Structures are given as C-alpha cells and as structure tokens.
Amino acid sequence: MRLDVYSDTICPWCYIGKRRFERALAARPQANLSIRWRAFMLNPSMPPEGMDRRAYIQAKFGGAGRAQRLYQALASAGASVGLAFDFERLERTPNTLDSHRLLRYAAERGCQDAVVEGLFAAYFVEGRDIGDASVLVEVAAAAGLDGAVVRRRLAGDSDVEAVLAEDTLARHQGVTGVPCFIFNGRYMLSGAQEPEAFMQLFDLAREDDAERLESGRQTDAR
C-alpha cells in the first residue's frame, strides 16, 4: 500500500492529522505500507524571509480576535491527540520552501517521518522559525542527518524545482487544502479526519492491492 500525504509544515491541522493517522495505524497496522510526505505550500507567494506573525494574522484573519478563536479550537483539537500547541510563541510565519526541500532529502535518507515530526514540533510547540536554515539544520541533525550536508544543500538550489513541481501537481490532482491523504494514487481523504475514516481507506486500498495482484497473476498465466 502506498500513501502520499500532502501537507505544509506550518499547517496545524496537518500535525493533528498526523496524530490521528498514527492512532488509526496503531489500531490497524498495515503491512508493507509506504508513506511519502509531499509538498503543498499554503502561502506560495510568501517572501523568502517570511513575514512578521502579527502582520500575517492581520492579512489572513483580519485581526487577532478571529485568529484567537481559531487558535482556541486548534488547541482543543491538538490536546485531544496529545499535542500542546503554543501559538503565542510564534513570531514569524515562514516561507516553507526550504522545509519541503529538507523533507525531500530526508525521504532519500530514510528518515522523513522523524524530520516531519521535528519540523512540526519546532514550529508549533517551540515557536521556532522553520524558514531559518540554522533551525532546519538543527531539526535535520536531531533526526540523524548530517547537519553540514543539509546546510550545503539548503545554501544551493537542490530540489527547488522538484518541490515547486510537486506543489503544482497536487493542485492539478484536485488538492485544495491540507492535510490530504492519497492511498495508492486513487483514494483521497482530505482533512484531519478521525481514525475511523482512515480505517475505511485502509480497507479500500487493501482491496485495490489484492485486485492488482490477482490481475498480475492472471496476466502471467496467459
């Protein structure tokens, strides 16, 4: 079974969705499940240096009042899955291109999940600027990657076009919000759904795997 998870590293619902998916997986383990985190940028026009958080909130939500109500709902949802969001610590909203570049490299090195977790925790719990290369290097090193190698990659243009292409592909596939979970390239689940919703997709994807395997056997027998 193949699972592509489209998300952004500054999306709180993606962090919640990750936890809910993990609960579903703990309740219903899936053998031979391959997971790949894919890029979707909520703010593709964000300046490279990011934006002051207060200015971002004013532009996106129309002021702190509405944002605070949304944060309260997010904090409640996060707490239900063991996450302690600390939105008060956020001083900047970053451009997430480099964080997605790091995730692509982490996938190549077999530690993408650890880096995803590290990025979410750094931003939402610790209030760190994950658009800053030094922060990204520290997250990478904590996940077992060579920090010096990561720093050199981020200083260049490795994977920039690949990340932008992935974001464009997501939109062409009909992804309009994140998180978005796509099983076997066919079955899509949008949003931070409860574990039960994932279990239904597990069943569909397993049936799909079985049908493909049987079709392959019949082709080989001809």
Side-by-side strand order, sheet with 2-7: 34-39, 2-7, 180-183, 187-190
Domain interval for residue 12: 2-221
Q: Assign residue 99 the CATH number of its domain.
A: 3.40.30.10
Work out the end-to-end distance of the chain between its first and last CA atoms, rounded to an integer number of angstroms. 26
Query: What ranges make up the beta strands (E) of 30-150?
Result: 34-39, 51-52, 92-93
Phi, psi of 6 (to 5 degrees): -85, 125
Residue 62's SS3 state is: coil
Structural domains counted in the chain: 1
Residue 189's SS3 state is: strand
Phi, psi of 145 (to 5 degrees): -85, 160
Largest CA distance in the chain: 67
One digit per residue, the tens of pLDDT, for the chain of length 222 reads 999 999 999 999 999 999 999 999 999 999 899 999 999 999 999 999 999 999 999 998 888 888 899 999 999 999 999 999 999 999 999 999 999 999 999 999 999 999 999 999 999 999 999 999 999 999 999 999 999 999 999 999 999 999 999 999 999 999 999 999 999 999 999 999 999 999 999 999 989 888 876 666 655 655
